[in-house]
Structure 1
């Protein structure tokens, strides 16, 4: 019997016995290294090629882009400010902050141009290049200014320019950025001895932070309690979160998240290409029960890829209600039922908690006449299969989504791999039209209305069945402070995290600071 199939009480007792053996020690500050334990390793530190969440998050520490995003998904200046000179011409002016590459060279407009020219070069083979194929010319005006000339107007264009900037000389020299990154971000790679250990150094103060990969969440928790690591973020089963809340040496923090979990389908499959079947699946899944009993409330239902608080979100969308009878009726119309169950293959990762979620979905679908065969794989194999289209049904989470350009990348009929991430081969003329109209609409209010209409159409056609937005979870040693959870799970909190000279009290205040800071705390 696998760990995910054992009774919950038995697994918790086993975990408790293991953790009692762990000494809740303080970190060894004499080493000067903060250790951040994560579930999956970074795979590619070249921002032109990275597609997995961990690589994207690490790259955000190593590189800086022309633009960034606020918590509502609106584009804000990063390295540069910009102005729209004409409908098809944008001028960017680099500021002074963040322009020193980690090798000491100064970042100029020529580096920006070389980065995007490389991205658009078919020889580079970047999966992100198709999003920028509207760039017709890149003109370097001087060291601080450049212009992008577009083949068509697109008011969202600045939001496409979040890619980390690479040095032009290193691009020309053929540097392997995937293993030897070189950017102007707040961190630099100091050592990468193996895939599960990545040593970063914070450039402003030399603080070293090691990313340690441990796939088993129970082992990650034990390492935190023993003082072997000082930070855990996400990928923890809710009962582990509850357990950590009770530990005196640990601080647990949570915040609502924006990362979108969903069921995806191969729409070229003769069964799953039928909307009625996808709608039956949507009605069969009881998301509220899953969030209550499996997630312990650490999440909220999702109706669309963008969260409702996003400027282009659709907060008025009504979800497909949990309705087993309606699901059975839809299946009966397709010729399936108790006497003739429908059999489908469902791929997921081998993470124990994800397997438990898959097992609950399997049980819920079985109640309406759908038999799911769960196929679990290590992350690399699983994600490789999804990108290659080797699936019927799968579950994944979109992380780090900022702008509504994600809709073109994921749902436009021209974005099937390798030109985008339309992995289910969804094709819908109305969806294509809405994406294209929104992309050329200047007025923000009209643009947002088009995106709301688009999300309504997607919820109707169901290329994905929306599931939930999971909360962000941090567990840290009381010997650390300064880390701020991001709503999308980025690692940007590492820019400010520091060792405390004394551990915090239970309410999160340092003994030295508690009395003087009490009046100003909320």
Structure 2
């Protein structure tokens, strides 16, 4: 009788035990939908947030702690003169359509990114490359026109992930990469769905399926978590709701750092913003503390130049063009600018829309008439970023170590500073860590003194997820929602 009872209990327990082992899909919430799905052909952070490391991989990887790690390359060596790098590539890697990855594919990808007229949003990553040679299937040699000590780091960006010649042209709609997840579906306006790739060369993904759901409204984001429709927000868009979630044992809340410098970009190619005094006046009219309290509910760190405080080269320049409305009025008078009217173009993120309303009020206090122009993300990219048709605009620059954009004369906020160009050029070839810090600090000062933009704050990384989940990144050293190590506890 006892043995029969034990057998009955065992039959009941086994299914329950098996259910505890069943893999669950994962639903990740994001505020913005990507305009397309090719990280090598667009500037929108949302592209990388869906695809970096999940679907696409580079020769190198920028890891959760910000360090450069091997990925499709297992190692690399630089020549003594710094003019060439040799990468040893991983064997047995296939794309999701079964095509092999080798040095000829890597050569194709790098040549494609740096070709004349390429869509790549970060051409400076490849500017020092003179030629790429597939020495043999597992050896890639990159010859430079000048030393580039930062090359392994540059090749870890989403803009440098590997693409295959047979699928590259279709990646915007149906991406094909080498990562642990493969593309399944894009339900426009709703979500992108990825499934685990069984032929992956490395450690398999720990969830069988991940859906990136696009939830633009902050209130809806909270409701979706509470209802269980979304399991996680690596970047929760409603900082005002954090206390509610911290008090709920069903959720984990982690607040980390990002590379997201939020700036009020100034179009200095358009009068009167070409005058230094006008740019200085705009910056001096802005109270960053009020901005962070009102737009971010206290979650944010003020900055005075284009560098996050966690960077070893950071210097506090918030006092340069710091809040001083009387000085702002005087600067406008000195510039001979009266009755100034301008428009602030606002992309969809809550930090931009909320900051825009507060900045408009502060600029009006110094005599500037302000109109607000909310636009969708695609329109911002086409009109403000690419078309340079704006007066002021608010956006977070989330690319890591991206101070080099201030050396691009055709960039959307139009920098023109010969000394800054010299400093950034030296930075591209300098390998000594202490010397690099000195150059980075000089660049920050030059940018602040020139009031290129009004620098606001660094975005926090507010991560919120189901307490049964582990494996999300605490910080954001690169714009990514890497879910390759995320798993359910039970």
User: TM-score by structure 2 length?
Assistant: 0.86
Which residue number corresponds to residue 9 of structure 2? none
Q: Which runs of 4+ in 1 moved over 6 A?
A: none
SS of 1:212 mapped into structure 2: strand
Which residue number corresponds to residue 140 of structure 2? 146
Q: What's the CA shift for 1:253? A: 2.1
After superposition, the CA RMSD in angstroms is 2.5
Correspondent of 1:368 among 342, 359, 366 = 366
Of 438-447 and 450-459, deviating more is 438-447
Q: What is the CA–CA distance in structure 1 between the aligned matches of 2:427 and 2:249, rounded to whole Å?
A: 51
Change over 3 Å in CA distance of 1:238–1:195 after alignment to 2 = closer
Which residue number corresponds to residue 18 of structure 1? none
Alignment of 1:474-489 (within 5 A): 474-488=463-477
Residues paired across the two proteins, number = 455
- Alignment of 1:89 with 2:84, yes or no, is yes
> Residues 462-489 of structure 1: CA distance to partner in whole angstroms, max 9, x if unpaired?
2121111121112222343332333247
Q: What's the CA shift for 1:329? A: 1.6
Which residue number corresponds to residue 377 of structure 1? 375
- Alignment of 1:295 with 2:296, yes or no, is yes
Which residue number corresponds to residue 30 of structure 2? 38
Contact 2:64 2:473 in 1 (8 A): no
Q: What is the CA–CA distance in structure 2 between the aligned matches of 1:273 and 1:73, rounded to whole Å?
A: 36
User: TM-score by structure 1 length?
Assistant: 0.81
Contact 1:303 1:317 in 2 (8 A): yes
Contact 1:259 1:488 in 2 (8 A): no
> Residues 403-450 of structure 1: CA distance to partner in whole angstroms, max 9, x if unpaired?
4xx333x22244x1xxxxx10222111111111122223423222211
Contact 1:349 1:355 in 2 (8 A): yes
Change over 3 Å in CA distance of 1:250–1:362 after alignment to 2 = same
Q: What's the CA shift for 1:238? A: 2.5
Change over 3 Å in CA distance of 1:433–1:141 after alignment to 2 = same
Q: What is the CA–CA distance in structure 2 between the aligned matches of 1:451 and 1:72, rounded to whole Å?
A: 21
Alignment of 1:86-235 (within 5 A): 86-95=81-90, 99-122=93-116, 124-129=118-123, 131-162=125-156, 163-171=160-168, 175-203=169-197, 204=204, 205=206, 207-234=208-235
Q: What is the CA–CA distance in structure 1 between the aligned matches of 2:358 and 2:249, rounded to whole Å?
A: 33
Which residue number corresponds to residue 17 of structure 2? none
Alignment of 1:387-466 (within 5 A): 387=385, 388-399=387-398, 401-403=399-401, 406-408=402-404, 410-414=405-409, 416=410, 422-466=411-455
Q: What's the CA shift for 1:277? A: 1.1
Change over 3 Å in CA distance of 1:266–1:114 after alignment to 2 = same
SS of 1:191 mapped into structure 2: strand
Change over 3 Å in CA distance of 1:490–1:186 after alignment to 2 = farther
Which residue number corresponds to residue 348 of structure 1? 346
Q: What's the CA shift for 1:51? A: 1.3
- Which segments of 5 or more consecutive residues in structure 2 lack a partner in the other structure? 1-20, 198-203
Q: What's the CA shift for 1:360? A: 1.0
Correspondent of 1:358 among 341, 353, 356 = 356
Which residue number corresponds to residue 17 of structure 1? none
> Residues 148-169 of structure 1: CA distance to partner in whole angstroms, max 9, x if unpaired?
1112222223332221111244
Of 367-376 and 103-112, deviating more is 103-112
Contact 2:234 2:481 in 1 (8 A): no
- Alignment of 1:246 with 2:247, yes or no, is yes
Change over 3 Å in CA distance of 1:430–1:491 after alignment to 2 = closer
Correspondent of 2:56 among 32, 50, 63 = 63
Q: What is the CA–CA distance in structure 1 between the aligned matches of 2:58 and 2:171, rounded to whole Å?
A: 16
> Residues 490-512 of structure 1: CA distance to partner in whole angstroms, max 9, x if unpaired?
444422222343xxxxxxxxxxx
Q: What is the CA–CA distance in structure 1 between the aligned matches of 2:65 and 2:317, rounded to whole Å?
A: 18
Q: What is the CA–CA distance in structure 2 between the aligned matches of 1:490 and 1:131, rounded to whole Å?
A: 16
Alignment of 1:253-268 (within 5 A): 253-268=254-269
Change over 3 Å in CA distance of 1:70–1:309 after alignment to 2 = farther
- Which segments of 5 or more consecutive residues in structure 1 lack a partner in the other structure? 1-28, 417-421, 502-522
Change over 3 Å in CA distance of 1:235–1:489 after alignment to 2 = farther
Change over 3 Å in CA distance of 1:393–1:474 after alignment to 2 = same
> Taking CA–CA contacts closer than 8 Å with sequence separation of 6 or more, which of the two structures ends up with the larger relative contact order?
2
